[in-house]
Homo-oligomer: A and B are copies of this chain.
Amino acid sequence: MDEQIALMEAFDRTEVRLAGHGARDIAVLQEALAEVEDTLAADMYGTGAVIEEFQAEMAEVLGKECSVFFPSGTMAQQIALRIWSDREGSRRVAYHPLCHLEIHEQDGLKELHHLEPLLLGGRDRLITLDDVKNMGPGIACLLLELPQREIGGQLPAYTELEAISAYCREQGIRLHLDGARLFEVLPYYGKTAAEVCGLFDSVYISFYKGIGGIAGAVLAGSRDFTEESKIWKRRHGGDLISLYPYIVPARYYYKQRIGRMSEYYEQAKELAALFNSCHKVSTLPEVPVSNMFHIHFALSREQLAPVLMGIYNETGIGLTPRLKPIGENSCYYELNIGDVYGGVSGPALREAFRLLDERLKQL
């Protein structure tokens, strides 16, 4: 544990980082607010131009009739599944074993909504069309996460996705998109957001991953679906008197970064190749399909941490503040490319990777 703290401290002292959009500090909010008139009226319980205009914009981007701004995706997605469950008269929904709802939400879906998720696919692979065909009867809604974050941000082939969507429509199974990182995968798919969302009945997107806002989410679908979601938003305690402190940055950083997703994707492939050139290192996926990937090391966390700290201290380049162990002899971390990668000097980066490879080879 001491080694973990030492790694974090060494990372905090570095001047150059490879991931993210920079410090999560209050300047992020101040920059966004500086772009709007200070007489802009607050939204009031879901009404007012600041929320209604953004919801209309996002509905159009996603190709859906309506959208609703939520304080969190946790809230939005539980509600989406609850609505489909109520409509279909079945408590059974299906999602991946490493779905956000299964591992990061303290079982809110079960404790608050009493839904019964079927875990589909495996912890080390994507959900396939065959999985969907074999899930048995009575599933009200299938949730697909694009990309599947907890396995490095993997994606099904687009034709597979289309086939799953067609099968669900045919069988009367509602299809919900966990699109926390939807914008990030569009360059790989070569599709618009509306094209991908057209395969789904409902869609959630997030504003603080690739977009780099502060918090907040949008849930989109048909008008009757989004109107029902507003009732549940009130019930969850998410219909705040004013959500503009999240909406204004969401809109500002969306405009600033939506055009940069291809760049992040290309940079992710470049950086993954550098990692894969090192001994005892591999990325998942080997070739990224978005701005994110996981870096796996065939070394224990205790063996690796001192090597990384040495690199941080000597080069001033920080790779990660923390490592997660997998069993006894390997560990990994997640990396998301954002604005800061473009500012890293190429020669300095190659030198850091030369050092990393050299030291890992000796272990």
Contacts and interface: CB of A to CB of B under 8 A. Distances in A.
A72 B111 contact: no
Nearest to A33: B30
Contact of A238 (B33, B39, B237): B237
Interface string A244-255: 111010000000
Given A74-B237, A113-B112, A33 B26 contact: yes
A360 interface: no
Contact of A215 (B23, B29, B242): B242
A76 interface: yes
21 contacts: A23-B41, A24-B42, A25-B40, A25-B41, A25-B42, A26-B33, A26-B36, A26-B37, A26-B244, A42-B214, A70-B237, A71-B238, A74-B239, A106-B231, A106-B232, A106-B235, A107-B235, A108-B237, A215-B243, A236-B237, A245-B246
Contacts of A40: 25-26
Contacts of A37: 26
A241 B208 contact: yes
A44 interface: yes
A78 interface: yes
Interface string A46-85: 0000000000000000000000001111111010000000
Nearest to A235: B108
A196 to B, nearest CB: 24
Contact of A236 (B36, B73, B108): B108
A29 B245 contact: yes
Interface residues of A, number: 51
Given A235-B105, A240-B72, A242-B215, A39 B24 contact: no
A242 B24 contact: yes
Contacts of A242: 24, 214-215
Nearest to A234: B106
A363 interface: no
Nearest to A48: B24
Taking the full assembly, how many copies of this chain does it contain?
Answer: 2
Contacts of A75: 236-238
A30 to B, nearest CB: 6
A278 interface: no
A1 interface: no
Contacts of A124: none
A26 B248 contact: yes
Given A214-B241, A214-B245, 9 more contacts: A23-B39, A24-B42, A26-B38, A27-B39, A29-B33, A108-B237, A112-B236, A215-B241, A215-B243
Contacts of A241: 208, 214-215
Given A112-B112, A215-B242, A237-B108, A42 B26 contact: yes
A274 interface: no
- Which of A23, A108, A235 is packed against the most chain B CB atoms within 10 Å? A235
Given A24-B242, A36-B26, A214-B245, A234 B42 contact: no
A363 to B, nearest CB: 32
A28 interface: yes
A99 B129 CA distance: 50
The 6 closest A-B pairs by CB, nearest first: A75-B237, A108-B235, A245-B245, A74-B237, A27-B38, A24-B42
Given A78-B237, A236-B237, A24 B41 contact: yes
Contact of A112 (B28, B73, B208, B235): B235
